[in-house]
Amino acid sequence: MFLFLAYGILGKKGVGGMPRRLHTYFFTGLIIVLPFLLTLYFLWVVFGFVDGLIGPLLELILGRRVPGVGFVVTVGLILGTGALATNYLGRRFLGWGERLFTRVPLVRSVYQTLKQVIRALLSEQKKAFRQVVLVEYPRKGVYSLAFITGGKQDGSDMLAVFVPTTPNPTSGFLLFLPEEEVTYLDMSVEDGLKLVVSGGVITPPGWEGKVKKGEQGRGDAGARAG
């Protein structure tokens, strides 16, 4: 309710001076603070849930309440799951548990989407993507953020380019384009993934949309055409 009230007061157009500065300060602060609050809230919910399951059992056994047990158990479960995933029997066991999740229609959709997004942000997908680029897709005059996934091979001038969907960058379209039709961006793969997942809300620090062309970029193509 407070956020809606503040937006109504500070978000009115046509107001200058101090109200406009307050509007800027408020939403800048909100963008910075909100991720921290949401992260803390998520951790609090998870730790509280685990503590609610394990706490009463330990209290029954030990005769007293053990503070912080939810945090310790949650961290232990994460470490234990990671250890299981590094050996063959553990992977079989985790695969069996995953199949149980994927048999429930609604749970399957949520689980698979979250799994793909987390993997994309943490490890595998960043290694597969080599460079952030812009391509003219899906029609002339419209540009999409993309990632180069394969270089030129066997003397071919074609590049393998992956155009991800928002907010799930693990799905999208694979294009094969000549290098002169690709515009290279001065942006890291991690920042590119953040830009896709956030729907353009999170932009790289200090990035002003400046681009750099490849050696076979459009500038060379235009010079040749002239």
* 18-62 and 69-84 helices, crossing angle to 10°: 90
Handedness of CA 176, 179, 185, 189 (dihedral sign): positive
77 burial via Cβ count (<10 Å: 0-12, 13-18, 19+)? exposed
Handedness of CA 121, 124, 130, 135 (dihedral sign): negative
The conformation of residue 205, written as its DSSP 8-state character, comes to T
Does the global pTM surpass 0.85? no
Residue with tokens 């053990």: 66
pLDDT in tens, the chain (226 residues): 444 444 454 444 444 556 777 777 777 777 677 767 877 888 888 888 888 888 788 778 877 777 777 788 888 888 887 787 777 777 777 778 777 777 777 767 777 767 766 665 555 555 567 889 999 999 988 999 999 987 765 566 788 899 988 877 778 899 999 988 999 988 888 888 888 888 887 777 766 544 444 444 444 434 433 4
Residue 144: its pLDDT value, please? 93
Domains with residue ranges and CATH for the chain: 1-103 (no CATH), 128-217 (2.30.30)
Handedness of CA 184, 185, 191, 197 (dihedral sign): negative
Residue 121: its pLDDT value, please? 57
C-alpha 129/C-alpha 194 separation (Å) is 13
- Residues contacting residue 146 through CB under 8 Å, at least 6 positions apart: 132, 133, 134, 135, 137, 161, 162, 163, 164, 175
